[in-house]
Amino acid sequence: MSSRKTLAHNLRVLRAARGLSQEALADAAKVDRTYISALERQKYSVTIDRLDEIAKELGVETYVLLMKDLPPEALSGDRA
């Protein structure tokens, strides 16, 4: 399982869990709307600097975005 694929999946799941559109997340993370779309389609290999920004907006630690099995507290949105 590549990290591109894991990330794509987790972005979709976490975004849905928070009721955010690609556009809403993009705005919050200060990136283009089509960029989030590209990541969810595994278009390229994101850098950890971008991951940090996106993770922050989703309220999770950066490494969580690369976990195959998301911890329940990530889904619920708890930042503990």
Partner DNA sequence: GTGTGACTTAAAGTCCGTT
Partner DNA sequence: TAACGGACTTTAAGTCACA
Contact residues for DNA, defined by CB under 7 A: 15, 21-23, 30-35, 37-38, 40-41, 44-47, 49-50
Given a copy of itself, DNA, none, residue 35, with its beta carbon under 5 to 8 Å by kind, binds: DNA
One of 16, 21, 48, 77 touching a copy of itself (CB under 8 A)? 48
Tokens of 59: 């309220």
Q: What span, in angstroms and rounded, lies between the C-alpha atoms of 44 and 67?
A: 18
Q: How far apart (Å, rounded) are the C-alpha atoms in residues 68 and 37?
A: 20
Cβ nearer to DNA, comparing 8 with 74: 8
CB of 47 to a copy of itself, least distance (A): 4
The answer to whether 14 and 70 have CB atoms below 8 angstroms apart is yes
